[in-house]
């Protein structure tokens, strides 16, 4: 493992966006009735965090 494993701007940004996605998705599930649009926005944020990480890594923010 590298010395900066997980301590890069790309990793922190991806984890922050993924956490936001989980919170948004959870809120969508807790609403009465369940708001599926909000839930799927949370899922999209979670998937988008992985794409964001890959882009930032290619730009050199994961070194």
Q: What pLDDT, in 10s, does the model give residues 8-39?
A: 999 999 999 999 999 999 999 999 999 999 99
Band of pLDDT at residue 1, cut at 50, 70 and 90: low
How many separate domains does the chain show? 1
Of 40, 46, 56, residue with least CA distance to 19: 46
Whole-number pLDDT of residue 3: 67
Report yes or no on 63 lying in a domain. no
- Domain hosting 41: range is 9-58
Whole-number pLDDT of residue 53: 95
Report yes or no on 1 lying in a domain. no
Report yes or no on 2 lying in a domain. no
Report yes or no on 27 lying in a domain. yes
Band of pLDDT at residue 44, cut at 50, 70 and 90: very high
pTM equals 0.86
Q: Is 57 left (phi over 0), alpha (psi -120 to 50) or beta?
A: alpha
Report yes or no on 44 lying in a domain. yes
A 10 A CB-CB count for 7 gives: 9
Cis peptide before 55 (omega within 30 of 0): no
A 10 A CB-CB count for 27 gives: 14
């Amino acid at each position: 493992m590298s010395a900066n494993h997980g301590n890069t701007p790309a990793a922190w940004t991806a984890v922050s966006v993924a956490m936001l996605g989980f919170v948004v998705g959870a809120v969508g599930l807790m609403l009465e009735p369940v708001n599926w649009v909000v839930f799927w926005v949370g899922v999209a944020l979670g998937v988008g965090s992985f794409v964001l990480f890959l882009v930032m890594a290619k730009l050199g923010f994961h070194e």
